[in-house]
Structure 1
């Protein structure tokens, strides 16, 4: 009896017929496609972010994207463009000044603190706290056609550039000393990859918010790295996990009208925990 009541409560909470109805709506389909593309971007970039120990840089780029978006709000121009500019400039600075691992964290911390201060100032001058909160937590249901195009263009750029630089970037990430001795352009690769991360973070801010970007750019790759040391396998698993979190999070959030970002991060974290347990048992 208790089990049937529990099942009924779950069925009422996640009304699958209502979910199916919402999935037929154009704005939901646009949001679903945007999240799927963002999951693809995050899944592709994530393994390199983890290998290069750039998790803090992702957080910094997302926060500076917030600053750019806040500046765009104040100036009355496109928030998406402002976010992209903020994230790309920040990422380029991180990549150029923080090429060495020992100085990367301090550079990111200094730039991020200054940028966040500016962001708070811009939002204060703008005067609408609700809009600022949306930049921190995302607005996936209001992606729209222009937002979808922006994510699609970013996906094409990221995938095209990664196809070109993947092998030397992997070499530089796994064995930087030998790569430097072999003539691999370390600083150039660092800056280019940082800019790609900035572009991805900027789109993530628009969809799932500045505070939660790491759930798609880091967590799936961190989970995948617990299961395999093979770069190709890690890449494939990272994309798979990111897509499950992104698409699954949106679908599960529809009927109960929960924030999408909460479910995306929850699914990502659950996948990481499962992979961590499997990885530990595999080494025993």
Structure 2
């Protein structure tokens, strides 16, 4: 094969990639928003030790989306309703960590069981069922994009408005309560914001793997920094790189988008963990 043939093949491959990428640009935009907001809210998820809650909310979000799919209702709306119900239940009944874990442990199998039931009754395309669990690169339609970006923007603005009291409550809830911070309402509000962004995540990466974008980027950022500004900035960057990078790789492959996103997210965490460990050893040695 001559160099001209190789060059023609490369140009043709790039043209095909560009054509496919144009078809999934909705997912790219939604993924970027999810990575940004998911990274930021993930910082508080880690500080409040609520990684388990993310998975619990995602199961009810999955059940809501599956029910909507079964009855022919809007899937995004069904997912949002399921997420908000789960977030409200956890926020109200799980004020203490021990109670919260018990509530989540009850909700998770219940939500997953309902979701599986609804999907088993659904007689439509199998790809629609599969995408709710593990994500699908073309799952974000034009009609859904505005919803997903709008939800992400609402969560981002609300998060910025309550950033300081939420951070105070996350790091030292006893002192925050003593200083007059409405910790119960702050906690409930945070849970509802978390529920909204989980609903977005279900449509990008699937219900089973949402922690890859709502927990892992923040966990990675905390391994290499402890600054109040550096951690959320790094978490947001890691989230966007994981989401958008995974979608761009999935365009060229045949696998669902979720393995790419989870792999990138895990590799970022692994690198940060190694770098953080070396930094700690150098600090102790000094």
**What TM-score do you get using the length of structure 2 for normalisation?**
0.90
Task: Confirm or deny that 1:40 pairs with 2:36.
Answer: yes
Q: Displaced runs of 4+ in structure 1, greater than 3 A?
A: 15-18
Match of 1:92 in 2: 88
Written as runs of structure 1 = structure 2, the 5 A alignment for 1:71-220 is: 71-128=67-124, 130=126, 131-220=128-217
Tell me, in whole angstroms, the C-alpha distance in 2 between the residues paired with 1:127 and 1:153: 31
Q: Whole-Å Cα distance in 2 between the matches of residues 269 and 135 of structure 1?
A: 21
Supply the distance in 1 between the matched residues of 2:231 and 2:277 (Cα, whole angstroms). 17
Counterpart contact for 2:61–2:78, Cα < 8 Å: yes
How big is the alpha-carbon RMSD for the aligned residues of Structure 1 and Structure 2? 1.8
Alignment size in residue pairs? 271
Contact 2:137 2:256 in 1 (8 A): no
3-state secondary structure, aligned to 2:224 = coil
Show CA shifts across 1:1-40 (max 9, x none): xxxxxxx9xx98xx555433433x2x32222111111111
How many Å separate the matches in 2 of 1:57 and 1:41?
Answer: 17
Aligned residue in 2 for 1:274: 271
Q: Retained in 1: the 8 A contact 2:136–2:256? A: no
Q: Distance in 1 between matches of 2:241 and 2:17?
A: 17
Q: Which runs of 5+ in 2 are unaligned?
A: 1-5, 282-286
CA distance in 2, matches of 1:113, 1:69: 16
TM superposition shift of 1:73: 1.8
1:64–1:115 contact (8 Å) kept in structure 2: yes
Structure 1: runs of 5+ lacking an equivalent: 1-7
